[in-house]
Amino acid sequence: MARQRGRFDLFLDAIGARHSVEPCMTALAMDGTLCPIDMAAARQP
């Protein structure tokens, strides 16, 4: 669990970075797998 929490913290740091991470944006699932996010679809109203 600690390892997963550490990876999630790293992911949050990447989101908070000043440069854009949208081209490679992913979500970390609870089991530790990475799921791609379609940012264009996420912006649709």
| pLDDT over threshold 60, residue 37 | yes
The C-alpha torsion from 25 through 23 and 14 to 3, rounded to 10°, is 40
Q: What's the rounded mean pLDDT across residues 2-11?
A: 56
| Top-confidence range, 4-8, 21-25, 38-42 | 38-42
- pLDDT score for 1: 42
Q: In whole angstroms, give the CA distance from residue 38 to residue 5.
A: 24
In terms of Cα–Cα distance, which of 37, 36, 40, 34 is closest to 8? 34
**Segments making up each domain of the chain, as ranges:** 2-42
